[in-house]
Amino acid sequence: YALSGLKWHKTDLTWSIHSYPTSSVSQGMVDTLIAHALKAWSDVAPINFRRQQSDGSRGEGGGDIRVSFAKLLHNDGYPFDGEGGTLAHAFFPGLDEVSGDTHFDDHEIWSYGGDGSTTDLFTVAVHEFGHALGLSHSSSDPSIMRPYYQGPVEDIRKFKLELDDRLAIQQLYGARDNAETDQPGVGVDPDPPLFPSPPPRRPTKYPELSFNERCQGSFDAVANIRGEVFFFKGEHFWRTKRDGSLVSLRPALITNFWMGLPTGTKVDAVYERKIDSRIIFFIGSQYWVFKDTTAMSGYPRPLSDWKMRTQSGELVDRVDAAFIWAHNGKTYLFSGGQFWRFDESQNREGVIKEPDQQYPRTNDLWGGMPTHMDDIITWGEGDAYFFKDNFYWVLENGGINQEYVSPKSTSIDWLRCPAPPTTSTPEIPGNPKQCVCAF
Amino acid sequence: RASPDPNQYSRAVDWLSRYGYLPPPDPRTSKLQTKEGIEQAIRVMQRFGGIQETGLMDKETLKLMSTPRCSLPDIVGGEDMRRRRRRRKR
């Protein structure tokens, strides 16, 4: 449904009829049809309609909704067009003199339940009163607010608005207490309840993590998602923006943001797929594919979809790290000191992956990098960043087997932690006996 | 595919303008509608009316355009709002 943005700021509305059609419907029948058409709306919303006698003029009198039948130009700037074409119109609620006024084209042959050669006054009136109450045209089917003439209904005494129309009017005025929709199980209407009960309040729980937690490093997973870097640890994550600032010093609950992940677990690895920007989470022997922040249906799926076998032929049951190397656009998954390469530009929709041939290989091929990393991301000019404990190493774009890479502090450079007065130095991967004064 | 006759075409443009699918014509600038603009407007109209989206003035579309209806527009102030939003952004 669509709302005009205007509504009556009262629920007791008056209506009047200022002229009658020249076609064969009697005045009494017009009165009845108009009253029933208004009742369709007041049955489902707390609006009360009271008829006011017309003084016969187009002046101030006559109440809120003034009904008239007119031909061609009729002094409102919206002339009718003869038989067919446009049938009627109404003005949205408001303070203008014309607000709520409802005009029917008197060139139409108005009828009640007539055949295809006539126009049913009741259904057109229900539609127009929808406008007079603040509704715009709806593209939903079924809806009385569709712009096109829909023909007569079987019995106006049994007429009930469709769900789309009820939702629209109740959005503006609320639901009537005794409205059928408020009594689930009554009647045969299979529509869902109008406004589902809101879930119990979930006040924001601030994690009991200390300031040091963020600054201690040892993240379960690190991922570059849409240019922002996410640091996952336990049930929480921190997020740095493109400019390097933290969204918040406080961590966020993973399951409050990434909808569909299980609680009580920790994330092993995450990456954003290049071909379609889906986000892949690895937890234990399962993986999830996310569209934005919501898990897609059909997930989790077993890690065995990826067909990663160790050099001794066993299926891999967890992933340590995952990233897309900007150098070649390929996806790399790491587990237990070995890694596999995937070309995801193929097999877009399929869930079964095949690693490239000649994989796995051992992690020490990435010279100068930690062989058992926490996670890896591509960042900056396409450089690969390896994270381990509270340090990170940068492998320049396309480089592999760099002789020596100086580790830097993750907490200082990424998580806005103060530099400690003194610090121990990490082992240099591949050459643990050599010491480095990193800071 | 035969192109619609000019009268039919101009009536359809008039119809699309009247019900909010095309911006109203501006006599000061003699603004012409682009072919793509009209095609897009027809698509929106077809989507709104629940018929197949072809962007063409096909039989179904012409039938829907000739169906008696309410004279209020389906898209209220769409083009105006878009223009205003663009201006605000600038």
Which member of A4, A84, A137 has the closest CB to residue B68?
Answer: A84
Instruction: Check A87 against B74: CB less than 8 A apart.
Output: no
The pLDDT of residue B78 is above 80: no
Q: What is the pLDDT of residue A296?
A: 92
Residues of B near A (CB-CB distance < 8 A)?
A: 19, 47-50, 64, 66-74, 76
Stretch A250-265: mean pLDDT = 89
Q: Is the peptide bond before B27 cis (omega within 30 degrees of 0)?
A: no
The pLDDT, as a whole number, for residue B87 is 44
User: How many angstroms away from the CA of A88 is the closest CA of chain B?
Assistant: 5
Residue numbers in A near B66 (CB within 8 A):
84
Rounded to an integer, the average pLDDT of A27-56 is: 91
Q: pLDDT by residue (tens digit) across B23-46?
A: 766 555 555 677 888 899 999 999
Under an 8 A CB cutoff, do B74 and A80 touch?
Answer: no
pLDDT band with cut points at 50, 70 and 90 for residue A204: low
Quick one: pLDDT at residue A234?
Answer: 93
CB contact under 8 A, B74 and A137: yes
Q: How far apart are CA A259 and CA B71, in angstroms?
A: 45
CA dihedral A261, A263, A265, A267 (to 10 degrees): 30
Taking an 8 Å cut-off on Cβ atoms, the answer to whether A136 and B69 are in contact is no
pLDDT interval class at A196 (50, 70, 90) = very low
C-alpha dist (Å) from residue A96 to A92, A125, A133, A234, A253: 9, 21, 14, 60, 51
ipTM value of the model? 0.84
Q: What is the DSSP string of A51-110?
A: E----SSSSS-S-SEEEEEE-S--SSS----SSSSEEEEEPPSSSSTTTT-EEEETTS-E
The residue in chain B having the minimum alpha-carbon distance to the alpha carbon of residue A136 is B74
> Residue A40 above 70 pLDDT?
yes
Q: Which residues of B touch A108 (CB under 8 A)?
A: 68
Shortest Cα–Cα distance, A200 to chain B (Å) = 37
The pLDDT value recorded for residue B34 is 77
**pLDDT tens sequence across A1-22:** 999 889 999 999 999 999 999 9
Angstrom distance (rounded) from CA A146 to CA A41 = 16
More confident residue, A348 or A160: A160
Asked if A89 lies within 8 A of B68 by C-beta distance, the reply is: no
**Contacts within 8 Å (CB) and 24+ apart, A328-334:** A329/A274, A330/A356, A331/A271, A331/A273, A331/A274, A332/A376, A333/A269, A333/A282, A333/A306, A333/A308, A334/A269, A334/A363, A334/A373, A334/A376
Minimal C-alpha gap between B17 and chain A (Å): 14
* Active site residues per annotation of A: 128
From B49's Cα to the closest Cα of chain A, the distance in A is 6
